[in-house]
Amino acid sequence: MKRIFYIWVLPLILLGCEKDLMDYEGLEGVYFAVQWGDSWGSEKTWPYQPYTDVHFINLSGDTATVLVRVMTTGPVKDYDRPFRVEVNPDSTDLTEGVDYLPLVNEVIIPAGEYAADVPVCLIRTEILQQEEKRLGLRLVANEYFSLSFPEWDAIAGSYQSGPIHDHFDASLHTLHISDFMVRPAIWVGTDSSPYYDGNESGSWGAFSRKKLELICEYFDLTYNDFMSNETMPMALQMLIYKKMSQVLIEHYNAKDPILEDDGRLMWFEGCPWSSKIGVPWVPDEDYYD
């Protein structure tokens, strides 16, 4: 499944205050106009940012298309105008064709518009589970546009939901990409129990990425659904362990057991076996007969 998400920005030019906030006079130009900030804020209070965090763990599918906003200075025109964008090798440690698809180098500002989005298609790879990687973008001047803000200076007091970066080059933008997973806020289980000889306990047992991804596969969930009781109500929690224990038992009976990375049998409440972290499962001699 391909997931597209937007990096939202505030169209300040529509509010008639672009010049006041930017304090810009000069040639018609382009700049990265990416805004984000605290969740309690809004686009009106979010500052402009030199980078964007992309967390694959919050997304489904093997690819994600990020739309990076670029805006113009100067008057709106009644004809299409292209601008150029390239991968910035100075801030990139990904490989084209492996970690991302080739970048669209020419993007059109449509007639009557002042902004457009640069689509960047990222590929989910295993290395992102251990390391954060970067993909840098840079705008390139052409016959239609110069670079508006190679020295961006934030206006003190203009933004209320940071983080605020006072000085950066707005012709550059970097995507910070990761796929880290830690135990989410809602996880109904424990690694071990002294009452069960140190075996997994609770409805869902020990947390593991493999187990969570299996739940997501069967229930069409994402990692974010495990972050609050609103998205993970008690009824769903109970349904998960009942369904997943049934799935594991069916696999076991079909001689296709689902194992954790350390070789132990995956476990949910309702499974007739026990499971201890770090202790691989050893089948009976006649199991595969």
Burial class (CB in 10 A: 0-12, 13-18, 19+), 41: middle
Task: Judge if 24 and 153 occupy the same domain.
Answer: yes
Residue 154's pLDDT is what? 65
Structure confidence at residue 7 (pLDDT): 46
Same domain, 217 and 185: yes
Stretch 145-165: mean pLDDT: 71
In this structure, the answer to whether residues 161 and 249 fall within a common structural domain is no
Which of 159, 178, 197 is the endpoint of a domain? 178
Cα(94)–Cα(134) distance, integer angstroms:
7
Distance between CA atoms of residues 209 and 21, nearest Å: 45
pLDDT of 88 > 90? The answer is yes
pLDDT tier at 141, thresholds 50, 70, 90: very high
Strand pairing partners for 190? 201
Check residue 40 and give its pLDDT: 64
* Interatomic CA distance for residues 34 and 7, integer angstroms: 6
How far apart CA 283 and CA 253 sit, in angstroms, is 12
Instruction: Place 15 in a pLDDT band, splitting at 50, 70 and 90.
Output: very low
- 114 pLDDT more than 90: yes
Does the structure show a pLDDT above 70 at 247? yes
Per-residue model confidence (pLDDT) at position 42: 65
3-state secondary structure of 100: strand
pLDDT tens column, 47-61 = 888 999 998 988 878
For helices 209-219 and 234-253, the axis angle rounded to 10 degrees is 100
Domain ends where: 114, 147, 178? 178
Q: Is the pLDDT of residue 35 over 80?
A: yes
2 pLDDT higher than 60:
no
Q: Which residue has the higher pLDDT, 61 or 100?
A: 100
| % residues pLDDT > 70 (the chain) | 84
Distance, in Å, from the CA atom of 110 to the CA atom of 288, rounded to the nearest integer, reads 64
Domain count for the chain: 2
Best-predicted range by mean pLDDT among 4-18, 20-34, 121-135?
Answer: 121-135
Confidence of residue 10 (pLDDT cuts 50, 70, 90): very low
Average pLDDT, stretch 93-113?
96
Q: Check whether 81 has a pLDDT greater than 50.
A: yes
Residue 228 has pLDDT above 60, yes or no: yes
What single-letter DSSP state applies at residue 156? T
Whole-number Cα distances in Å, 33 to 9, 202, 242: 6, 47, 48
> Are residues 136 and 238 located together in one domain of the fold?
no
CB neighbourhood size of 249 (10 A): 16
Percentage above 90 pLDDT, the chain: 66
* pLDDT for 17 beyond 90: no
pLDDT of residue 23: 45
217 and 151: one domain? Answer: no
* CA-only gyration radius of the chain, Å: 25
| Range in 32-41, 65-74, 208-217 the model is least confident about | 32-41
Q: Strands 81-87, 172-178: parallel, antiparallel or unpaired by DSSP?
A: unpaired
Whether the per-residue pLDDT at 239 is higher than 80: the answer is yes
Are 124 and 64 in contact by the 8 Å Cβ rule? The answer is: yes
Task: Round the average pLDDT of the chain to a whole number and report it.
Answer: 86
Q: Are residues 201 and 167 part of one domain?
A: no
Answer whether 249's CB lies under 8 Å from 220's CB.
Answer: no
pLDDT for residue 41: 63
CATH number at residue 79: 2.60.40.1740
Taking a C-beta distance cutoff of 8 angstroms, is the pair 212, 181 a contact? Answer: yes
Tell me the C-alpha distance between 100 and 159, whole Å: 33
What's the confidence (pLDDT) of residue 38?
66
Find the Cα–Cα–Cα–Cα dihedral 81, 88, 42, 113, rounded to 10°.
Answer: 0
Asked whether the beta carbons of 180 and 223 are under 8 A apart, the reply is: no
114 in helix, strand or coil?
A: coil
- Residues 158, 271, single domain; the answer is no
Residues 206 and 278 reside in one and the same domain: yes
**Do 130 and 187 sit in the same domain of this protein?**
no
Does one domain contain both 148 and 263?
A: no
Model confidence band, residue 143 (pLDDT cutoffs 50, 70, 90): very high
Domain around 261: 181-289
* Same domain, residue pair 160 and 198: no
Last residue of a domain, one of 156, 178, 200: 178
Structure tokens at 285: 């001699």
Same domain, 133 and 242: no
